[in-house]
């Protein structure tokens, strides 16, 4: 089972803090659910809803893939998928479930994406602003970006979340204004459920 592990500039500089924190979270979820599928193993509803905009074939990047719920959905739809995550545990679980996944353990804070390489980039519940210009460059012309993550509105429910990890109103739309914005919305997902989330969601295409 081949998994690619990338280190910054060839040095063993993986920031073990984030990797360890996410490994612990995935381990705890797994023990808690005793082998049942976690929400991280299912595709995000916004991705499923917007599947008419997915390319029929080609290469997709799932940035901060987690356990591969989105990656699995994309593979089922005929795409080749490269999934990158800092948590080696998450990447190994995803690869075990999805043998054709191009699985990469890497820290996206020191990662370079190749230009014009991807037909699709998905970014769900991960916020690293300096990746955004790379996403635009890394899409092929006609390539699609699907993005959803938490907004500052979330602080009304979770004041403990650091604002730097939350999108400001209109920020996501503005960041990708040079793409053709197909869908954009801000609001609550699952408002009456167990885990309500204030999010901004976007589907955009590179001209």
Ligand X SMILES: C[S@@+](CC[C@H](N)C(=O)[O-])C[C@H]1O[C@@H](n2cnc3c(N)ncnc32)[C@H](O)[C@@H]1O
Binding site for ligand X (CB under 6 A): 18, 22, 40, 44, 64-66, 69, 85-87, 90, 107-109, 124-126
Paired tokens of 6? 């990338």
CB of 87 to ligand X, least distance (A): 4
**Minimum distance of ligand X from residue 114's CB (angstroms):** 17
CA distance 186 to 29: 28
Q: Which two tokens stand for residue 126?
A: 């991960």
Report the nearest approach of ligand X to the CB of residue 3 (Å): 14
Select 41 or 119, whichever has its Cβ closest to ligand X.
41
The residue among 135, 132, 170 whose CA lies nearest residue 152 is: 170
Backbone φ and ψ for 74, nearest 5 degrees, come out as -70, -40
**Closest by Cα among 180, 187, 188, 90 to 143:** 180
Which CB sits closer to ligand X, 10 or 207? Answer: 10
Minimum CB separation of residue 66 from ligand X in Å reads 3
CB nearer to ligand X: give 51 or 109: 109
């Amino acid at each position: 089972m081949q998994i690619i592990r990338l280190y910054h500039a060839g040095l063993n500089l993986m920031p073990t803090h984030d990797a360890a924190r996410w490994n612990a979270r995935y381990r705890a979820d797994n023990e808690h659910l005793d082998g049942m599928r976690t929400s991280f193993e299912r595709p995000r509803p916004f991705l499923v809803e917007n599947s008419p905009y997915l390319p029929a074939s080609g290469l997709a990047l799932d940035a901060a893939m987690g356990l591969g719920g989105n990656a699995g959905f994309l593979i089922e739809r005929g795409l080749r998928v490269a999934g990158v995550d800092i948590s080696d545990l998450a990447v190994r679980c995803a690869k075990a479930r999805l043998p054709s996944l191009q699985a990469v353990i890497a820290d996206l804070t020191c990662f370079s994406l190749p230009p014009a390489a991807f037909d699709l980039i998905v970014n769900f519940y991960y916020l690293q602003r300096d990746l955004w210009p790379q996403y635009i460059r890394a899409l092929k012309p006609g390539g699609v970006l699907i993005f959803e993550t938490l907004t500052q509105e979330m602080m009304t429910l979770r004041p403990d979340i650091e604002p730097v990890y939350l999108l400001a109103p209109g920020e996501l739309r503005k960041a990708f204004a040079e793409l053709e914005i197909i869908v954009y919305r801000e609001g609550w997902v699952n408002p009456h459920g167990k885990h309500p989330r204030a999010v901004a969601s976007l589907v955009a295409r590179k001209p």
